[in-house]
Chain A
Amino acid sequence: MTEMVHGAVPVRTVDPILPRWWRTIDVWSMSCILLLFAIGLLLGLAASPPLAARNGLDPFYYVSRQAFFGILSLGVMFGVSMMTPQLVRRLAVLGFLGAFVALALLPVFGTDFGKGAVRWYSFGFASVQPSEFLKPGFVVVAAWFMAAGLEPSGPPGRLWSFALAVTIVLFLALQPDFGQAALVLFSWGVMYFVGGAPMFLLLGLAGAVAAAGTLAYNSSEHFARRIDGFLSAEVDPTTQLGYATNAIREGGFFGVGVGEGQVKWSLPDAHTDFIIAVAAEEYGLVCVLVIIMLYATITVRSLMRLMKERDIFIRLAGTGLACAFGVQAIINMGVAVRLLPAKGMTLPFVSYGGSSVIASGIALGMLLAFTRTRPQGGIGDILLRRGR
């Protein structure tokens, strides 16, 4: 009766946003990300004052900047993680187009900051590296193409995505920025692998790489010397690597103590590429293992959650984002422990850098959005197992 008089009580057909978000998001990964951000600020407190002193700035200038950008980035990340995968895809495609145009126009408007590679746009108060934003956008677009290609009577999506990857790699190689180029290629490769690359192609590729490496090692003395130099136990102590190695040894298991580290005074890239060395020296192996654990948790957990995902696009995009994130961390730390040859690559979310941290926020926001718990038709599997 009441309803007839006053009209029906408005019924909410969907859950309220926040509770649903909290219920479906991967809280573990999100906590890890927040912890990483906190550790990044802590290490920034240790690593950046020497740089600020060199540039004649307030000692914690870089820390406060990092905190500002970091909080901005966390906001972006939460915002993105609340979106539906479809909305994420739409925005990411638009973002990708913008970033791609920006990348293509770099040679015209970009600046190299005297470092020899034109990778940045300078806006006075901050600088932006378009390739940082391009990466997550590319992953989403490539996943979209591949997923479309896997539909019955879909377009040749794998081919399109491969062409896209090669185009971007060429643009990046022109800058030159081989690190990012390799990362783009790697994330495409991972998506292709998960999206069902033929097994014999993978085996053939692995065999070809091994054969080419052996051939190069045996035939080129230069190449062999590079590899031997990288494999040899000795390290020239005057290089960045030498300082980093020494810092890790100095730190030992529990570190030399807060603010007692020396390596940050001698390494020009202590606040970016070699921040793990600063962590190892001041806080010791314990801190480094915690950082590694956090990265591993985010990457592996995301991959495990994606195993249950039955939407092809979400699975591929999530895989690409998680692997790009994990590999970037591995490369950065692998260089410091001399598992990999020297290559400048930031430690995502921990290294200093405004555009880098915001781009990481966007990427991780997308990842969180893709790894949210969704109905996967499991009940249908149980009830409707049709005897096909």
Chain B
Amino acid sequence: MIRRPLRPLARILKARERGENPDAIERENLRLRHEEARDRSRSRAEGRLLVLGAAFALVFGTVGLRMAAMAGAPAEEPRATAGGNPIIAQRADITDRKGRVLATNLDTYALYAQPPQMVDPVRSARELAAIFPELDEEELLEDFTGPRKFLWIRKQISPEQRQAVHDIGDPGLLFGPREMRIYPNGPVAAHILGGASYGREGVSSAEVIGVAGVERRFDAYLRDPANEGAPLQLSLDLSVQAAVEEVLAGGMNLLNARGAAAVLMEADSGEIVAMASLPDFDPNNRPRPLTQGSPADSPLFNRMVQGVYELGSVFKIFTVAQGLEMGLVKPSTMIDTKGPMTWGRFRIRDFHDYGPELSVTDVIVESSNIGTSRIALMFGAEKQREFLDKLGMLEPTEVEMVEAPTGKPLLPAQWSEISTMTISYGHGLSVSPLHLAAGYATLANGGLKVTPTLLHDAARGPGERVVSEETAAASRAMLRAVVSRGTASLGDVEGYEVGGKTGTADKPRENGGGYYDDKVIATFAGMFPALDPKYVFVVTFDEPVETTGSIPRRTAGWTAVPVAAEMIRRTAPLLGLRPQVEGAPEQGISLAAN
């Protein structure tokens, strides 16, 4: 580009010669340059304005055409459909591990009234009272003739009732569609499922919300439309659960117990296959919480998860396992069991006098309080607390129920040496039976920590190691010995190699101050098959008494153990475990060829 000066020297000089003002030349040049730029920009703007105008004409035309297309389309009833996006108003089902339904929904109707639209309130009130016996005719009539514009009459009605109300023919009686939560198995797994009720209610629909158990815990998941109705699969096995509940109810009945609880859990994964607490309830018709007395007396109370008890001698195996793990004892080490053992002003006694000393195995088999106290003193309070914490005994279980955090273990205010000794045989520390099951599962699976879960196939890695394989194996051998030749001999189910430990703990008095003489918590915790356990179980009874003998017997060996044995007999085949027929293959058969 050639720059042209505003004051070209040649013209300036000439102008000066002529005596003209040279500034005029500059002004003239500036004006020309300005005009040039203006013309250039105008010709460019001309084109662009044309484009702009054409674009506007085009867009206005499009709007007009579109309007014409819409106006030309036949007016049709608008439909509230959105393709490919199913409307899931339903609460998702809950199933067991095999897909059998535990909770589902049923379409029903709610009945409500709009008194201003009523034709004959007197007759309507009379007829309604005849259909629903629990309604009072006088009250209904008062409501129908009073100032109320709207009232609910029944939250759910059956199809027959609906037809009967329909036949009254009053336009002021109206039905609102409802979904009701139904538990087809009645009280089976009642505590786990919890129950549901209505949340916000409208005429055309109502929210179903979980009130307890997994229904409440997974409320958001069950109501989430993004799951498109995919059911919530629990780890429970419905048939096993039903068998466990049946056997437990029978046992509770025979033993005149106040309550009972049982759990059956996979030893490796912590998946709960069956869990029951008695007395129970029907989640279809959930009872109201007690307003007075101990909440533990309510059928709503889940003894397995919410109840924390001093479970007694079942804890001894943890003391011994810790001694083994720390290398302080071996199964054959002899322990001084001369009683009574005096520690300060406390005296520790055994059920019988077991003589001056017992091997560690026999301390478990005979259930010697003195023996475990001596072992516990070897490692002391701090180590004991650490070990029980690693087993998960000091925090509430993390099982997926809203009630789980309420099952908080009760620890001694001060973990003194005497606490160490009592805790070594299961007194002075209250945990839920589910805690106990998780602890036994650790020993059963070879020493890895187990977190109980109600979800099937929950993706979880193996827990951290608590004890070594060897310690776990030695502990299992002792538990097996308890059943084969110790306090739990009634629990030896043929072919299933049960191992376990009994615990009979005196109940502490409610108002404090010592323990009852004639009220016990009898517990049997164990595993089967003992050599390579697949399942662990805990059966516990509240105040059982066995009266077939000459004197009432309350020890777990006579109460919890036989019930647990029956439970294993019933459930092991359901769980797909083959009984082991001992010795059969070897007899009379010799290997003839290689």
Contact = CB atoms under 8 A, between A and B. Distances in A.
A190 B78 CA distance: 40
A355 to B, nearest CB: 26
B48 A250 contact: no
A292 B49 contact: no
B56 A249 contact: no
A293 B61 CA distance: 9
Contact of B78 (A237, A319, A323, A334): A237
Contacts of A306: 49
Contacts of A237: 78-80
Contacts of B81: 234
B63 A333 contact: yes
B73 A238 contact: no
B44 interface: yes
Contacts of B75: 246, 249-250, 252
B74 A249 contact: yes
B60 A150 contact: no
B34 A280 contact: no
Contacts of B68: 285, 289
B62 A150 contact: no
B64 A292 contact: yes
B52 A319 contact: yes
B67 A280 contact: yes
Interface stretch (A9-17, A58-66, A67-75, A295-303): A295-303
A221 to B, nearest CB: 13
Interface string B30-61: 10111011110110111011101100110111
A245 B78 CA distance: 10
Interface in B220-274: none
What range describes how many residues of A lie at the interface? Answer: 35 or more
Nearest to A232: B83
Contact of B60 (A194, A246, A296, A319): A296
Contacts of A309: 42
A324 B44 CA distance: 21
B34 A330 contact: no
B49 A323 contact: no
Nearest to A329: B60
Nearest to B37: A152
B80 A323 contact: no
B71 interface: yes
A337 B63 contact: yes
B41 A150 contact: yes
Contacts of A300: 53, 56-57
Interface string A257-293: 0000000000000000000000010001100110011
Interface string A328-371: 00100110011100000000000000000000000000000000
Contacts of B45: 194-196, 307, 315
A296 B44 CA distance: 23
A145 B36 CA distance: 20
A130 interface: no
B46 A312 contact: no
Contact of B63 (A152, A246, A253, A334): A334
A337 B74 CA distance: 15
B586 interface: no
A251 interface: yes
A189 to B, nearest CB: 11
Contacts of A319: 49, 52
A303 B67 contact: no
A113 interface: no
A249 B72 CA distance: 7
Contacts of B66: 337-339
A47 to B, nearest CB: 17
Contacts of B33: 152
A334 B36 CA distance: 42
A205 to B, nearest CB: 15
B86 to A, nearest CB: 15
A79 interface: no
Contact of B70 (A194, A248, A310): A248
B76 interface: yes
A268 to B, nearest CB: 18
B70 A296 contact: no
A289 B49 contact: no
Contact of B52 (A190, A196, A284, A295): A190
B413 interface: no
A253 B34 contact: no
B67 A150 contact: no
Contacts of B83: 232, 234
B38 A289 contact: no
B50 A307 contact: yes
B9 interface: no
B59 A288 contact: no
A242 interface: yes
A312 B71 contact: no
Given A296-B56, A303-B49, A196 B41 contact: yes
A307 B46 CA distance: 5
Contact of A249 (B32, B37, B49, B76): B76
Contacts of B57: 296, 300
26 contacts: A150-B37, A196-B41, A196-B44, A196-B45, A232-B83, A234-B81, A234-B82, A235-B78, A237-B78, A242-B78, A246-B78, A249-B76, A251-B71, A253-B71, A292-B64, A295-B60, A296-B56, A303-B52, A307-B49, A307-B50, A312-B41, A333-B67, A337-B70, A338-B66, A339-B62, A339-B63
Interface of A: 150-152, 190, 193-196, 232, 234-238, 242, 245-246, 248-253, 280, 284-285, 288-289, 292-293, 295-296, 299-300, 303-304, 306-307, 309-310, 312, 315, 319, 323, 326, 330, 333-334, 337-339, 388
Q: Please name the 7 residue pairs, one residue from A and one from B, whose CB atoms are nearest each other, closest first.
A: A237-B78, A296-B60, A303-B53, A249-B75, A285-B71, A337-B66, A248-B70
Given A152-B34, A194-B52, A299-B56, 11 more contacts: A150-B41, A196-B45, A234-B83, A248-B71, A249-B76, A307-B45, A309-B42, A310-B39, A330-B60, A333-B67, A337-B66
